[in-house]
C-alpha cells in the first residue's frame, strides 16, 4: 500500500544543535515530496519541496532535505536549531499520477535551552 | 504569492447549528481546493476535494450531508458543518493547488485553519 512514514513521533534537541527528521515513502514511482511546518493552532507552511533534479533541496529558515531514491527517503535537516523551530513537522507526498497530498503522522520538535 | 485566506480562525457554536468556513485564494485562481480535518496531535486527514463548478469528491467515511462543500467560484470554497455536534469539534484546514509554474507542478498552499468548538 502507498504510504508515507515519519518514524519519530517526538524529538527533543538542544538549541544550537543539529536536527534531522526522517521521512520514508512507499510508492511505485517517485512522488512529489514536501516538508511542512505547523506551529500550534496555525496552518501549514511549506519548508521545501522536491519534484526532480538536484537531490539536495534548500528551503526556508535554514532547512534542507535530501532525496535518496535507493532508500525511498526524504529526510529534513537543519545544522543549528533555534528555539523558534519548536513545532510540528509533516512530510507529505503526492504520487506522480495523482493530485492528493498525503501526510505523514508528523514529528513534534521540542527545543530545549 | 499563492496565498489562501481562511475564515473564521475560531468559532464556537451550539450543538445542532450549522457553521460555514470560508477559504479564499487571494492572488490566484484555485480550480481545486482541499479540506482537511486535524485532531489534536494528529496528522491531517483529507475530507474532500472541491473543484470549481462541480460537486466535491469526498473521501471514504466522510459524511457528505454533514460536511457540505461549495466551490462556486475560482477564488472561494466553503465548508459548512451542518447540525454540528461536539464530536465535530476539530481543526479544519483548507488547501489549494497552486497553478502550474513554467517548470510544471506548482504544489499546494494552506489556509491558517479554523478551530471549531461545538458546545
Which residues make Cβ contacts (< 8 Å) with residue A50, sequence separation at least 6? A32, A33, A34, A57, A65, A67, A74
What is B91-109 written as a DSSP string?
Answer: EEEEEEEPPPBTTB---EE
Tell me the average pLDDT across A67-83.
96
The residue among B1 and B95 whose pLDDT is bigger is B95
The pLDDT > 90 percentage for chain B reads 70
Q: What is the pLDDT of residues A94-107, one digit of tens each?
A: 987 788 889 999 99
A41 chain-B contacts, CB cut-off 8 A: 91, 113, 115
Q: What is the pLDDT of residues B6-29, one digit of tens each?
A: 999 999 999 999 999 999 999 888
Which residues make Cβ contacts (< 8 Å) with residue A54, sequence separation at least 6? none
Mean per-residue pLDDT of chain A: 93
Reported as a pLDDT band with limits 50, 70 and 90, residue B105 is: low
Region at A108 (left for phi over 0; alpha for psi -120 to 50; beta for the rest): beta
Contact B46 A43 (CB under 8 A): no
A101 chain-B contacts, CB cut-off 8 A: 34, 46, 95, 108
Contact A51 B105 (CB under 8 A): yes
Beta pairing class for A107-112 and A87-94 = antiparallel
Kindly state the DSSP code that residue B75 receives in the 8-state scheme: T
What is B1-24 written as a DSSP string?
Answer: ---EEEE-SEEEE-TT--EEEEEE
Residue with cell 500500500: A1
pLDDT at A51: 87
Q: Is A89 on the interface with B (CB under 8 A)?
A: no
Mean per-residue pLDDT of chain B: 91
* C-beta of residue A36 within 8 angstroms of C-beta of residue A21: no
Q: Compare all CA atoms of chain A with the CA of B49 and give the residue at the minimum distance.
A: A100
Amino acid at each position: 500500500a502507498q504510504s508515507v512514514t515519519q518514524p519519530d513521533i517526538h524529538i527533543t534537541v538542544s538549541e544550537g544543535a543539529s536536527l534531522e527528521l526522517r521521512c520514508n515513502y512507499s510508492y511505485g514511482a517517485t512522488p512529489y515530496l514536501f516538508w511542512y511546518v505547523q506551529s500550534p493552532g496555525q496552518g501549514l507552511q511549506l519548508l521545501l519541496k522536491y519534484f526532480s533534479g538536484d537531490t539536495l533541496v534548500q528551503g526556508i529558515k535554514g532547512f534542507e532535505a535530501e532525496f535518496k531514491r535507493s532508500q525511498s527517503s526524504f529526510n529534513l535537516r537543519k545544522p543549528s536549531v533555534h528555539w523558534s523551530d519548536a513545532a510540528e513537522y509533516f512530510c507529505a507526498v503526492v504520487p506522480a499520477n495523482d493530485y492528493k497530498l498525503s501526510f505523514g503522522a508528523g514529528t513534534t520538535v521540542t527545543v530545549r535551552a | 504569492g499563492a496565498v489562501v485566506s481562511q475564515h473564521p480562525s475560531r468559532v464556537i457554536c451550539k450543538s445542532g447549528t450549522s457553521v460555514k468556513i470560508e477559504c479564499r485564494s487571494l492572488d490566484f485562481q484555485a480550480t481545486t481546493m482541499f479540506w482537511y480535518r486535524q485532531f489534536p496531535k494528529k496528522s491531517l486527514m483529507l475530507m474532500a476535494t472541491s473543484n470549481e463548478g462541480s460537486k466535491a469528491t469526498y473521501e471514504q467515511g466522510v459524511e457528505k450531508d454533514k460536511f457540505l462543500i461549495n466551490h462556486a467560484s475560482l477564488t472561494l470554497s466553503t465548508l459548512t458543518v451542518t447540525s454540528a455536534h461536539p464530536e465535530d469539534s476539530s481543526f479544519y484546514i483548507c488547501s489549494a493547488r497552486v497553478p502550474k509554474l513554467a517548470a510544471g507542478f506548482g504544489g499546494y498552499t494552506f489556509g491558517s485553519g479554523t478551530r471549531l468548538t461545538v458546545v
